[in-house]
Amino acid sequence: MTAPTEPQPFPADWDSLLVLVPHPDDPEYGTAAAVAKWTAAGKTVRYALACRGEAGIEGMAPQQAGPLREDEQRRAAAIVGVSHVDFWDFPDSNIRNTPALRDKIAAVIAELRPDVVVAIYGGAEFASGAPNQRDHIEFAAAVTGAWDSLTDPPRWLFQNGPAPTHVETVDGYLDTAVDSLAAHEVYLSVLDPQTPVREQARAVIDMTCAELSGRRVAGFILERTTDR
Ligand SMILES: [Zn+2]
């Protein structure tokens, strides 16, 4: 039995990165700490989301929840240095790997021409017994399909998730990542009314930015690269 390969450092020789996810708060579950580090280093990071999360707040009408979650997402992004946040209006909880979604993703990548794309994790499970959501799985597949359709794709396509091939060290950026997730204040307070929002956010960042060889890291899985 061979030992698992140590993850490599996340590439550093790039200028612009696009985070592609289905829902508000997806960038804050694991990627935001790395985003804070990248923008602090002068790199450009943009977010694009398939929907506004309008179905995500229990007991709140979609026409109220959508704008509220969009606003929380914009604040969360600003905290980690991201001012470009685009929402596409695909239906929350019904994100499917359709030609329309792949076309939209391909068009946005072609327009923004990022060096790196970081997508939501598309595996079936985060861990044994912790299934991924269907919206995430279908959206991630649509991103890979869109990348494969491009004649001049970005240099790298990663997913943010478990069993990473690449890691970014995020020591010094964890508090900012907690602040960013805690910006989803109404969303988190309805999701778990018993636990203060900052406590919830801290627990998520502790879980998603694991320790590796004494450093805290954000993990990414390399899906595609144009490198030979
Ligand atoms: Zn999500």
Number of structural domains in the chain: 1
Q: How far is the CA of 49 from the centre of ligand 1 (A)?
A: 10
Query: Residue 204's pLDDT is what?
Result: 96
Q: How far is the CA of 204 from the centre of ligand 1 (A)?
A: 14
42 domain residue, yes or no: yes
Q: How far is the CA of 136 from the centre of ligand 1 (A)?
A: 6
The bridge status of strand 116-120 relative to strand 125-127 is: unpaired
86 domain residue, yes or no: yes
Query: Can you give the pTM of this predicted structure?
Result: 0.97
Q: How far is the CA of 173 from the centre of ligand 1 (A)?
A: 22
Query: Residue 215's pLDDT is what?
Result: 96
Which residue pairs from 211-216 have beta carbons closer than 8 angstroms and sit at least 24 positions apart in sequence?
212/7, 212/167, 215/169, 215/171, 216/33, 216/169, 216/170, 216/171, 216/174
215 domain residue, yes or no: yes
Domain hosting 53: range is: 13-225
Query: Residue 4's pLDDT is what?
Result: 61
Q: How far is the CA of 1 from the centre of ligand 1 (A)?
A: 35
Across the chain, which has 228 residues, the per-10-residue mean pLDDT values are 76 98 97 98 98 96 97 98 98 98 98 98 94 98 98 98 96 98 97 97 96 96 95
Q: How far is the CA of 2 from the centre of ligand 1 (A)?
A: 34
- Phi and psi torsions of 12, nearest 5°: -115, -15
Q: Which two tokens stand for residue 31?
A: 């990627």
Q: How far is the CA of 26 from the centre of ligand 1 (A)?
A: 5
Q: How far is the CA of 51 from the centre of ligand 1 (A)?
A: 10
Q: How far is the CA of 61 from the centre of ligand 1 (A)?
A: 18
7 domain residue, yes or no: no
Q: How far is the CA of 111 from the centre of ligand 1 (A)?
A: 24
Which amino acid does the sequence have at 133? Q
8 domain residue, yes or no: no
Q: How far is the CA of 208 from the centre of ligand 1 (A)?
A: 14
Measured in whole angstroms, the distance separating CA 160 from the mean position of its chain's CA atoms is: 6
End-to-end CA distance of the chain: 28
Distance (Å, rounded) from C-alpha 145 to C-alpha 63?
31
Q: How far is the CA of 91 from the centre of ligand 1 (A)?
A: 12
3 domain residue, yes or no: no
Q: How far is the CA of 53 from the centre of ligand 1 (A)?
A: 8
Distance (Å, rounded) from C-alpha 141 to C-alpha 133?
13
6 domain residue, yes or no: no
Query: Residue 3's pLDDT is what?
Result: 52
202 domain residue, yes or no: yes
Distance (Å, rounded) from C-alpha 126 to C-alpha 135?
14
Query: Residue 228's pLDDT is what?
Result: 81
Q: How far is the CA of 121 from the centre of ligand 1 (A)?
A: 10
Q: What is the CATH number of the domain that holds 73?
A: 3.40.50.10320
